[in-house]
Structure 1
Amino acid sequence: MSSIKSVIISCAGIGSRLGLATTKALINIEGRSLISWQLEMFKDIEDVRIVVGFQANDVISEVLKFRKDVTFVYNHNYFETKTGASFYLGSRHANEYVLEYDGDLIVHPQDMKVLLDIEGEYIAYADKMSDDAVYVKVNSIGDVIAFSRENGDFEWTGPACIKRDKVKYNSGNVYNQLENYLPMRGIKIRACDIDTYEDYQRAINIVKEWYIEE
């Protein structure tokens, strides 16, 4: 499946809620940048595309330390747009299926391996953890039937995999794009979004547990 699947990592945002004056891709977790932990998970994926905007040159320099064959895509309107726009820009000219991965996301490496091997479309979600979450509502078999800012069964973290030709321009969030195709197969994973400083502190402990100690 990896040969017909592109991974789109959205790293264009400012990360203002985090309050560390840096884009989230470059935050330090256990002596390494967040983007380096993410790239490690995708080392066997041929087509990795990273959407940059804020501090683009710094992100590009950091990525090139670990991988030279990444495709960089610019979101020049990163200040006015959200991840939906970055996902669209990164998906153009990609493979048949595109896997959306937010630049502020940590997924358990074992769960990420499972997701990369799954064929077809899906939306991944996790137990509620983040301080400022978007939620998903699921049906009796775990399919995602709705997104909500108010409440839900689980937290929408991503990743999500969808056919490239379904990705349309949207200046909002990725889930605003996915809403058009619900219900969609849902897969529960272990994951953590980094939106606030409290999330960041939580993520440091999670990386120790998931990536270092296991």
Structure 2
Amino acid sequence: MSIPTTIVISCAGMGSRLGLGCPKSLVEIDGKPLIIRQLEMLQNYDDIRIVVGYQMEKVIEVVSLYRKDIVFAINNNYMNTGTGASFCIGAENSREYVVSLDGDLLVNPQDLQDVLKVKDEFICGTDPSTDNPVLMDTTQENGSLVVKEFSRERGQYEWTGLMKIKKEHISAVRGHVYTILEPLLPLPMKYIRTKEIDTLDDYDRAVEWVRNGYL
């Protein structure tokens, strides 16, 4: 039996560090906008909400040409809030479980399918690779990795922005998604292969990664 799941993709930000003059969700990754590559991996899910803000009309247009059943939520205060606020807006009236996915994150397709099949709450981590990452300090419990703390100073894995929690565990925040998770720790960690796009160097690496089959 499938788990009632809502997927929230946060695409409201300006992408200032990337400097391409468009939301990061719309950057072309080897011929396709990043958001379309994400939606291609989510074709089996029927409750997807995309939170828009900066250049919202462009994001809505690109997505709507690809798929007609996407729900759009608006973060009008995108200049002063982070992905946590966007996630909370998108998660209103959600199903039992809610998945958070950042609009600037590429995930290995098989890894994404595998973690979305997990039946309970989880946090996704990867090998640290970005500048000034949010790290996750982990430990072993009953043979599985769990996250015990988010930190800027220590941790074996980097927080990816991808997670799934029960809707009743969502609390309103203005900053980052991980601040919603901190009161719920420890939570299971699932390892995924990703490329986050914050800078032009990140973008170049992401394009090469896709061309190499996400390897």
State the TM-score, normalizing by the size of structure 1: 0.95
Residue number among 139, 145, 154 corresponding to 2:148 in the alignment: 145
Opposite residue 114 of structure 2, the aligned amino acid is V
What's the CA shift for 1:37? 0.3
What's the CA shift for 1:202? 0.9
Moved more, 149-158 or 46-55: 149-158
Taking the aligned partners of 1:3 and 1:40, their CA distance within structure 2 comes to: 20
Q: Deviations over 1:34-89 (max 9, x none)?
A: 00100001100010000000000000000011110001000010000000000000
Opposite residue 48 of structure 1, the aligned amino acid is I
Taking the aligned partners of 1:210 and 1:48, their CA distance within structure 2 comes to: 25
CA contact (8 A) 1:24 1:104 kept: yes
Taking the aligned partners of 2:12 and 2:43, their CA distance within structure 1 comes to: 21
Q: CA RMSD in A?
A: 1.3
Task: Name 1:81's counterpart in structure 2.
Answer: 81
Residue number among 184, 188, 207 corresponding to 2:210 in the alignment: 207
Task: Name 1:196's counterpart in structure 2.
Answer: 199
Residue number among 172, 175, 182 corresponding to 1:172 in the alignment: 175
What's the CA shift for 1:194? 1.1
3-state SS in 2 of match to 1:87: helix
Task: Name 1:185's counterpart in structure 2.
Answer: 188
What's the CA shift for 1:3? 5.1
CA contact (8 A) 1:36 1:63 kept: yes
Task: Name 1:129's counterpart in structure 2.
Answer: 129
State the TM-score, normalizing by the size of structure 2: 0.95
Opposite residue 194 of structure 1, the aligned amino acid is I
Identical residues among aligned pairs (%): 44
Structure 2 runs not aligned, ≥5 long? none
Q: Does structure 1 residue 106 correspond to structure 2 residue 106?
A: yes
Q: Does structure 1 residue 29 correspond to structure 2 residue 32?
A: no
Opposite residue 16 of structure 1, the aligned amino acid is S
Opposite residue 126 of structure 2, the aligned amino acid is A
Taking the aligned partners of 1:88 and 1:142, their CA distance within structure 2 comes to: 27
